[in-house]
Structure 1
Amino acid sequence: MFDFHVVSGETARRVIGRSRSRIVDEVRDTYLTHDLGDSVNPNSYFLRFPDKPDSRIIALPAYLGGRHSVAGIKWIASFPANIQRSVPRASAVLLLNDYETGYPFACLEAAQISAARTAASAVLAAETFSAARSARRLLVIGAGVIARNILEFFVDRDWQIDEVLVHDQDPRYAESLTAYVSGTLGREARTAPDRDKAIAEADLVVLATTAAEPHLTRPGTFAPGQLVLNISLRDIGPEIIADSYNILDDIDHCLTANTSPHLAEQKFGHRDFINGTLADMIRGRRRVLRDRPVIFSPFGLGVLDLAVGAFVYHAALEDKETTAIEGFFGETTRW
């Protein structure tokens, strides 16, 4: 009951690296558990700073039932200026709490976990819309940590991708990710300096930028039948959202914080452009056609962090890769 373990980012990365396919299955199960109502996922709380308007630290508390029965909270910082220092934008920790007693039992470096659950969610959505697990050209816009993780998950799920295109405002990052894809991942890849041309060439588009407001606003930017994984959430203008099929991970959560769907709701005064959730699609309650673009916008639920975090914790504990903190709790009896 009073054991407390720390899982480092290096350990989490090792566990994730050998378990990506299983993590996609964990994320799928978590979405379905959440869909059944066996979870508590309050709104995220954003801590913002007057002199750093682009930076924030977000608290994501949650409870996940089902076979997990675990509570916890992710505390994740997003400081885009870190990129100029060649440091990852996001840093995070995750606390896991025992549901019976409320006592925390683990603290995990969670940037790896957050990236993994984000990537698993993206790949799960792609598989839901493309049972063949194939793409002629996959375009990534934003060549950072999240993009790298998403591509790693695609590869580990045995997707057949003829070519990966990479676009970034900074050509150096595009070149680095392209080299990683062609070298480490063993897939055909090239940089795509002309963003709009690359979008027109791709059948699957992954948005993984740090954009704070829409930069894809021209009507007709995406083609009918094109799948867009709107992972960074704020790249797409309201008009494009309104003219597409829109699948979200959780409707109420996603329609907050000026995400692209939220901007569309504010502009048009309704939610009629939303076609359902990913769980709806998995369960076959909803379907989309190919006469419009299909956009998946995941807000990123705290229950996903719990599921992936618990998976990493148990795997690390079994392999004796955790660090036990003796005497972490100062009092273990009332008297």
Structure 2
Amino acid sequence: MGIAQIVNVDEGLSKERTLLQKLVQEEGVKIVDVAQALGKSRSTISLYITGKYKETEDLREKARNYLVTLGMWEHDSTEPAAAIQIDYITTADALPFIETTDVKRMRYVLKKAATKLKFGIIAGDPGLGKTETLKKYMFSNPGSAIYIRCKSTHTVKSLLQELADELGLPDTGSANQLNRRIVKQLKRSPHFLIFDEADLLKSVDKYEALRDIYDEAGNVGIALTGNLALAEMFLDFAELRPELKRLADRAPFHQRLLGPNREEVEQLLESVNLTNGARKLMVQIALNPRKGGLRNCVEILDVLLDMTEGQPITEEMVLDIGQINLNANA
């Protein structure tokens, strides 16, 4: 049993003063040592112990912390814990960009494909932050890369037209004419080519068009990012389809993304004013691709932060908005 539990506190003296007095008068600790531990002068502590120095919360807190280190003070449930000041965010735009393991994997593939002039393939479930990581890469490497967001409606010609536009070239003529124009420009001014959501291209002729540009230019790297269907095409089953294997053989750098871990999600939510129940639920959503994953987590926060403006977000709010969001994206 600690001393704090058996000492009789003198009337008129605080618990802190009484314990320090006992420490000096009965335990034989020198006042100068106590003063040094509390960051005060010897005279101040001498007067404080005897009740002749004005009580301040700062001094009491220093005394409590010192007594805790000696095993003479145990905080009990009736003592209010010191409040931790957190500047809660009020908009999803203020959420931090977390350097997750997936982000590092993506950055590795992008760097290698760009510098080694190879194909890179990045595949993972929707909502893992692939597009946001690509934007960060573009921002960090201004002028060195061309970004194309693929669409399910792309034909070979429209894909080449979009690439020509990004390179500042005319987008008229046949697919063959566009190809020659693009290759000629890339030979003059090489750019790293990034095709996001590349799984949406689907048909082999579009991937072959990209392989032709790569082979003919001879001085560019290309990155394809998309969902796990991309990995199936070029990593899992390419051996069964020679037309896909030709591109897969040019892609030594590839990664399957695994999604964030719990620590990374909690780091993302650190500055969001969530009740315990709401925080647990948001972590579950972010960790579960079937519930929308990280993307759905951020979209729900976007709505709730606008609603609450920094006030606590409850579990009920998350359930309500989360259900609406899942239905909207179904």
TM-score range, shorter chain: under 0.3
Give me the TM-score of the superposition, normalised by structure 2: 0.20
Give me the TM-score of the superposition, normalised by structure 1: 0.20
More helix by share: 2
| Larger CA Rg, structure 1 vs 2 | 2
More strand by share: 1
